[in-house]
């Protein structure tokens, strides 16, 4: 008789061990960050070609702010050891708060 695991039952059976769910979480985060870097590079090149150095620097700064804020949020989200649904929500809200705060701070520094 085989046992099939639902979405959350495998995580409960594994206890505190790192499961495949964490590895799968990092792949979407990495994919988003790679696309943000690619879009930043493309807009920087387009800005440099069409509008000059100032446009290229502005595009690079704006893109890097987004990438750095996303990295900060991913780090905070990955460090949240949530053991309940409420803990997951609080961890996500904390990560979003860090993302927004770091983006505002970096935008203030850039301007």
Reported as a single tens digit per residue, the pLDDT across 76-106 is: 888 877 788 888 889 889 999 999 999 999 9
Nearest to 36 by CA among 71, 3, 1, 2: 71
Pairwise CA distance, residues 28 & 18, whole Å: 17
Query: Is residue 36 very low, low, confident or very high in pLDDT (cuts 50, 70, 90)?
Result: very high
pTM over 0.75: no
Dihedral sign, Cα of residue 75, residue 80, residue 85, residue 86: negative
First to last CA, the chain: 64
């Amino acid at each position: 008789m085989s046992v099939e695991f639902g979405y959350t039952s495998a995580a409960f059976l594994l206890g505190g061990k790192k499961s495949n769910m964490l590895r799968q979480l990092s792949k979407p985060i990495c994919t988003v960050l790679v696309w943000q870097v690619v879009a930043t590079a493309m807009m920087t090149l387009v800005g440099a070609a069409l509008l000059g150095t100032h446009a290229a620097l502005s595009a690079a700064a704006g893109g890097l702010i987004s990438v750095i804020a996303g990295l900060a949020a991913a780090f905070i989200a990955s460090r949240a050891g949530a053991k309940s649904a409420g803990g997951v929500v609080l961890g996500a809200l904390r990560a979003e708060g860090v993302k927004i705060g770091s983006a505002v701070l970096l935008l203030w520094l850039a301007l």
